[in-house]
Each structure stands twice: as structure tokens, then as C-alpha cells.
Amino acid sequence: MTIPYPEHVTVVVTTFITVVIAVLLHYEALWLISHQIEKSRRPHRQRILAMAFGVLMTHVVEIWLFGITGWWLTEQLSIGALHGYDNFNILDYIFFTAVTYTTVGYGDIYAIGPVRFLYGTLALTGFVLITWSASFTFIEMQKHWRVGR
């Protein structure tokens, strides 16, 4: 039996793997940040700022993970494409991924073909991870915020 659309299967499997890696990365990063805040003897301000930068860097790494995945699927495997202008490079993929991950959706670049599944799933994943980070930040700040410092 042959699979009628093997490129679709490739995108779905690749998307699943990328989402799993991103969620596990997010979990581990938030756990590490929380653990570091708990054991740190640094002043309150430094701990909160370190937490904020740690969360932001985690999102940047996840955006790059999805951006490289999108680039690999389209440029290396020729499964779909990005449209909007000519001659896309890796940073264009990162930009499009960041816009999709944050659900901003400017619309100047758009995906066509099977790779659309990756970017559709990316929007949901980004939304979930960003709200997870917001909840985490709120809880950590409640635990560690000191009035007057």
C-alpha cells in the first residue's frame, strides 16, 4: 500500500515531533528558572529580571526551533513554500515563525502547501506556551514580590 500524500505525513510527523520538543523544552526551562529563583540569594530585582529574561529566551529558542523546521521542510524537502516576496532566507523563516508563534499575523508572508499544517499548529502551540509563561510569571512574582524593593 502506498501513501497517497507522503509529504503530508512528513509534515504531520515533523510537526508533532517539533511540538513535543518545544513543550518539553518549555517545561524544563520553567522548572529550571523556578528552581534557580528559589535557591538564589540575589536581590529580589535581579531574580525577577533573570526570570523575565529566562522566559523570553526560552520563547526565542522555541521560535528558532520552529523556524528551522519550517525552513527545512520547504527549502530542503520542497514541501510547500512561503510566499510574500522573492528569495527567502533563514531569517525570513524565523520572522514568519515569530509572527505566527505570537499570533500577530501581519499577513505579508503566508505559507502554501502541506507546510501550512506546521504553521497552523505553531500558532496554537505559541499561544499555549505564551499563556503558560504568563501564568508562571504571575505565580512566581506573587511568591517573590516584595513591597518597597
CA angle, 138 then 144 then 149, to 5°: 110
The pLDDT of residue 148:
46
- 126, pLDDT greater than 50: yes
Of 24 and 147, the structure prediction assigns the larger pLDDT to: 24
Residue 18 has pLDDT above 50, yes or no: yes
pLDDT value of residue 145:
72
9 has a pLDDT exceeding 60:
yes
Distance, CA of 144 to CA of 45 (rounded, Å): 10
Q: Which domains does the chain show, CATH number per domain?
A: 6-144 (1.10.287.70)
State the virtual CA torsion across 61, 67, 68, 72 in degrees, nearest 10.
160
- Taking residue 91's Cβ as centre, other Cβ atoms within 10 Å add up to 10
Q: State how far the Cα of 83 lies from the Cα of 124, in Å rounded to an integer.
A: 21
Secondary structure of residue 112 in the 3-state scheme: strand
3-state secondary structure of 111: strand
Q: The C-alpha cell of 126 is what?
A: 505559541
